[in-house]
Structure 1
Amino acid sequence: MRVHDLGQVLEVQADVYDADILEDRSFYQNRLDLAPDSCWVARDTDNQLQGYLVSYPWAGLLPPSLGDALSSLPSPADQWFIHDCAVMRRAQGRGVAGALLQAGRRYAWQRGLRRCSLVSLGPAVGYWQRLGYKPIEGVPAPVLEAKLRQYGEQASFMDCAVHPD
């Protein structure tokens, strides 16, 4: 992902998410500035952006807050955090997300990150479960619930082991 992709990233985001959880250009710019090597886009043969993955090294028992700018990434990191993986509706079911996630797993593995975490929106929980993700247990419920409320009803903080492909 590069700065010139951000306009199309926002288009993909608007195509797949409800308006109340959309993040603005400055959010994506922030993550791209902090973790340019772990943000990717997928394009079709006409060079149209079909999907994107925003991820970064992370640490701790809680996900970052939705939409908040970060001043830095934690160091050392103990996990690879998937902030957002989105694919245009017209491109879903064509392996776009799988290719993006494969690039991400390689990135994480090469950096010694053996755990991946994410916040799944309610409708996508089944998708992530099929990929081996499970709800994270052991996080104080009131604190986690406050974070997850930002993501909408039935959002779930999930993780899985990272394996090289």
Structure 2
Amino acid sequence: MRIGDLPHVLEVQAQAYGEVMLESEATLASRLTLSPSTCWVAVDAQAPEHEACVAGYLFTHPWHLAAPPPLDTVLHTLPEAPDCWYVHDMALAPRTRGAGVADRLYAAALTAAQALGLSASALVAVQRSQGFWARFGYAAVLDVSPQIAAKLAGYGNGAVFMTRTL
């Protein structure tokens, strides 16, 4: 992903989430700026000329397993000693769902994360997406700390903290 992709990423985000769960361009740019090797876009070469060619995106970055960042928060630095690969957000343009785009995005980012030497991954599943993330090996953490529970509240009803071993 490149900074120039962000306007198209924001279009995909709006298509995927509607009015809820939208994050600012500054929030997403901060993740891309801090960890460009772990943020990806899928390009749809078959997209009609009037539509963006970004078919989906995936923002990830090194982080601390026990401290997911709050939703829609600009990050200024990454931790000095990260212990996990944090999967911040994946969204697909509706026209590409079911075409394997999510699998390819995740595989590319996973390879980059493994090159960082991290042994765990974490994410916050929103909008009943636990089953989707379970396909990639994530499991819900049922007994979260009060700090994680407080952050989950900011992600909306039904947000679930999930982890996996890399």
Q: Which runs of 5+ in 2 are unaligned?
A: 48-52
Whether the 8 Å contact between 2:130 and 2:140 is mirrored in structure 1 is no
Q: 2:96 aligns with which of 88, 91, 96?
A: 91
* 2:72 aligned with 1:56: no
* 2:36 aligned with 1:36: yes
Match of 1:151 in 2: 155
SS at match of 2:105: helix
The alpha carbon displacement at 1:62 in A equals: 2.0
Pairs aligned (count) = 161
Whether the 8 Å contact between 2:88 and 2:124 is mirrored in structure 1 is yes
Q: Which runs of 5+ in 1 are unaligned?
A: none
1:38-66 CA deviation, whole Å, 9 max, x = no partner? Answer: 11100112471100000000114021011
Residues 103-118 of structure 1 aligned to structure 2 (within 5 Å): 103-118=108-123
Whether the 8 Å contact between 1:62 and 1:139 is mirrored in structure 2 is no
SS at match of 1:20: coil
* 2:7 aligned with 1:2: no
CA distance in 1 between partners of 2:37 and 2:163 (Å)? 21
The alpha carbon displacement at 1:92 in A equals: 0.6
CA distance in 2 between partners of 1:144 and 1:111 (Å)? 24
CA distance in 2 between partners of 1:124 and 1:139 (Å)? 18
Match of 1:14 in 2: 14
Whether the 8 Å contact between 1:82 and 1:116 is mirrored in structure 2 is yes
Bigger helix fraction: 1
CA distance in 1 between partners of 2:35 and 2:115 (Å)? 15
For 1:35, the aligned partner's letter is S
Q: Show structure 1 runs of 4+ deviating over 6 A.
A: none
1:120-151 CA deviation, whole Å, 9 max, x = no partner? Answer: 013211111232211125532x3222211221
**TM-score by structure 1 length?**
0.91
CA distance in 1 between partners of 2:157 and 2:18 (Å)? 12
Indicate the percent of aligned positions where both proteins have the same amino acid.
40
Whether the 8 Å contact between 1:108 and 1:114 is mirrored in structure 2 is no
Match of 1:160 in 2: 164
The alpha carbon displacement at 1:84 in A equals: 0.4
CA distance in 1 between partners of 2:42 and 2:36 (Å)? 15
